[in-house]
Amino acid sequence: MKNKPELAINTTVSSLEFKMRLSFILFFAFIFSAVANSFSQTEITLELKNVRVIDVLDEIEVFTDYKFIYNTKIYDFEKFVTINVYEEKYRTYWTKFLKVK
């Protein structure tokens, strides 16, 4: 008979632990989602003519919270490009930038 109350206490504690862990995970998932959404809403205006790709990335870093890490062996970041965007969101200007040849 003594085992039944202990089992009930252990079940209650485990249920509480599970609920706390689930709440913790959902809270951080919500926070990360909100941060990611705010990054995607960033608008920028760029008018850059005949500049290196590295300079374009530097300009984006100056006007946004983005930070770029790149490997110069994979892509030619010394190549010269021209990009013109006016108050456009991340996805739009990034697509234009990647299409530049």
Reported as a single tens digit per residue, the pLDDT across 51-64 is 998 898 888 888 77
pTM to 2 decimals? Answer: 0.53
Q: What is the pLDDT of residue 89?
A: 76
Which pLDDT belongs to residue 40? 57
Per-residue model confidence as pLDDT tens digits over 88-99: 777 776 776 666
Q: Tell me the C-alpha distance between 47 and 85, whole Å.
A: 6
- pLDDT at 35 exceeding the cut of 80: no
